[in-house]
Amino acid sequence: MKTRITILLLALFVSFNIGFAQQDEECMNNLSMFDSYVKSKKYDDAYGPWKIVRDKCPRFNRAIYAHGEKILLHKIKSATGVDQVAYINDLMLLYDQSREYFASKYDLGEILADKANLAYKYRKELNKTNDQVYNMFDEAYVKDAKNFTSAKGLYTHFSLIVDLFDDGKKEAQQMFDKYDDVNELIEGIVSEYTTKLNKLVEKEEAGETLGKKDTQRKKFYESSIEVYETKILPSMDQKLGKRATCAVLVPLYQRDFEENKNNGVWLQRAMNRMYAKGCKEDPLFLKLVQQKNSIEPSADTAFYLYLLTGEQKYFNQTVQLETDPLKKAKLYKKLAQEFKAKGSYGKARQYFMEALKLNPSDGSPYLAIAAMYAKSANNCGDTNFNKRAVFWLAANEAEKAGRVDGRLRSAAAKTATSYRASAPSKADIFNCSCSGTVIKIGCWIGRSVTVPNI
């Protein structure tokens, strides 16, 4: 259950239902008792009064379910054998009851994911097979994917189908489809949080100080996005591992191409996966892209055609077809990374900056630009001092990443410190008597940097 709900529940007398339960003194007294015990983490003491309220007045207050989850999790952890199984099953029932009595507060996908997570954790105690637990997660996905947002649950859902594939119980295409299903759910969650985060970052960049609530929201969005992007998605790729190499994908898609050549979703997912796995040099990749472009032109197909042909018309088409700012930012980043890998740093910077305009809370383009500056230091200065001065520029750029993106604050600070260590020292500045002067950096960089005052 969403832990943030419990904050609201502490004001016990605000959300009581109108009706007979409100007048029930026994429920009122026991509610007050178990609430006090839970706050003190005396879960064993809370169990008795909580059970009375749950059984007698199940609609009395939402604390029955928010606090009840904590109480039963404690009981499960403390018990063994049949007692532990009984508490596990009781928590399963509590999840169902929370939905029954407070349906507007507990989404179906959330509850089904909670039950599946619990079943997975205690699958041995419950004698659950991978098939059975997978089906519990799949029920959450099928019935209410929108509210299936548990990061742990989404990863476990995918992880289980990989295990089932390894056991010969699922086909490769089913495994890849589930990867895309989960990936698309995560993309939607991240997109929603990023849109909200960008508004807060833009306020800060405009010089506005965020209030307490906005500061908390900003931290929540940043931490949530970080979990999905740096933990869940990489873990999924690691789990997939060698099961999705070019040697595996190419024969699979060649075999199924004729059957799916008019299936836009299949073509889209196939070409995306081949690109992600570095298979874009294989002729099949071009075949997939051209076919998708012929039946359903999209920003993605235009982008891939631009990479494959270098024709400007396809890049123009990419920009025109993609209307979602965050998706367009991702395309600009992909393009920038392609140019960066080829050593075309000027073009790479151009597209990294375009990405920043569309997604200002993503600081990674600043770090990429800083890295290109640092790598070019030896080529973009006319004296040894000026070459090393490029590292000031790189450090300044890295610091921007930490300013706009809290997820990168630590990494950006360390990177900036490292770059400054390679820049001219205070002694060098003293010897050249150039404190405070502006140095113009040449070649593709074309920027200026001010020598620090000492």
- Where along the chain do its domains lie? 5-206, 354-454
% of residues, the chain, pLDDT over 70 = 95
Q: Residue with structure tokens 């770090």?
A: 367
CB 67 within 8 A of CB 38: yes
Give the tens place of pLDDT for each residue, 220-252: 999 999 999 999 999 999 999 999 999 999 999
Res 205: pLDDT: 86
303 CA to centre of own chain: 23
Structure tokens at 356: 């920043």
Summarised one tens digit per residue, pLDDT across range 383-431 is 999 999 999 999 999 999 999 998 999 999 999 999 999 999 999 898 8
- Are 181 and 160 spatial neighbours (Cβ–Cβ below 8 Å)? no
Helix then strand count (H, E) for the chain reads 23, 2
pLDDT in tens, 111-122: 999 999 999 999
What pLDDT, on a 0 to 100 scale, did the predictor assign at position 127? 97
Does 14 have pLDDT greater than 70?
no
Based on its alpha-carbon atoms, the radius of gyration of the chain, rounded to whole angstroms, reads 28
Q: Which two tokens stand for residue 221?
A: 């969005």
Domain 5-206 coded CATH 1.25.40.10: yes
This prediction's pTM: 0.82
Q: Which residues contact 107 (CB under 8 A, 6 or more apart)?
A: 144, 146, 147
| Model confidence at 147: pLDDT above 50 | yes
Tokens of 236: 């999924």
* Percent helix, percent strand, percent coil in the chain, to nearest 5: 75, 0, 20
Task: Please list, in sequence order, all residues whose beta carbon lies within 8 angstroms of the beta carbon of residue 319, skipping any fewer than 6 positions away.
Answer: 299, 328
Give the pLDDT score at 1: 53
